[in-house]
Amino acid sequence: METLRIAAAVVNAPIGENEQNLAQVFQWTRKAADQGVHLICFPEMNLTGYAHTDTAADCAETIPGSTTDALAGLSAETNVTILAGMAEKDADGRLFIVHLAVKPGGELHVYHKLHLAPPEQTVFTPGEQVSLFKVASLTCGIQLCYDAHFPELTTRMALDGCDIIFIPHASPSRGQTAQDKHQSWMRHLTARAYDNGLYIVACNQTGRNGNGLEFPGNAVVIDPSGNILAKKLDDREGLLVVDLNASALEYVRGHRMRYFLPNRRPELY
């Protein structure tokens, strides 16, 4: 596949309204499928709602479970790979922030957030594995919100062959507009794409979540040259649909002055 059509979803995700949030995933995934989308990415913890307090334990689910089963059915129905997030409780009672990649053929990829933000560290357990998955001919990775502030993680993924990194967020507004949040993201997300020669796709929750947090509802897609392909800068729910072309990856990686990874000297650092 030379072109992968993706949708970055901006949605409101009330805390603990798991059935409502799942129904919303069905709604937006079907709308994306009608637009020829191959993959849809939802914000961090959109299925359970976001909380960095003990409230997260009340809405956490097991994996696999009824929600992953429902998403598998939806992915098969629409032929769309679905990236969606939740709080997970494992058999030992530990809580994780996870993002799922559910593929039409039934494959389930589970990413556990590696870098927990300071408010999350007393509630959640960090993940321990950097992993990638394929969609058609392209290799994809997931980072979650705070993960993106650690350049080594993106470089590690790039060295492992990653072409696209999806970065779902549950990043509160703290008085910021969607434009303000976008400008904050531009401090680091364009660098992650440019320095590593890959696509970055980021999306955020929007609106009030019923747990004292409000989100500004922004999304952005950045190409391997660090250019913004598309952005969404308002508080409305919706989809940012963009075609990601393999030719843009090939152009950067075939350019002796614009592809930096082959010239790294890790023995120095």
pTM: 0.97
Q: Write down the domain spans for the chain.
A: 3-260
Tens-binned pLDDT, residue by residue, of the chain (269 aa): 589 999 999 999 999 999 999 999 999 999 999 999 999 999 999 999 999 998 999 999 999 999 999 999 999 999 999 999 999 999 999 999 999 999 999 999 999 999 999 999 999 999 999 999 999 999 999 999 999 999 999 999 999 999 999 999 999 998 899 999 999 999 999 999 999 999 999 999 999 999 899 999 999 999 999 999 999 999 999 999 999 999 999 999 999 999 999 999 999 99
The third-level CATH classification (topology) of the domain covering 3-260 is: Nitrilase/N-carbamoyl-D-aminoacid amidohydrolase (3.60.110)
DSSP string over the chain: --EEEEEEEE----TT-HHHHHHHHHHHHHHHHHTT-SEEEPPTTTTT---SSTHHHHH-B-SSSHHHHHHHHHHHHHT-EEEEEEEEE-TTS-EEEEEEEE-TTS-EEEEE-SS--GGGTTT-PPP----EEEETTEEEEE--GGGGG-HHHHHHHHHTT-SEEEEEE----TT--HHHHHHHHTTTHHHHHHHHT-EEEEEE-EEE-SSS-EEE-EEEEE-TTS-EEEEEESSS-EEEEEEEEHHHHHHHHT-TTT--GGG--GGG-
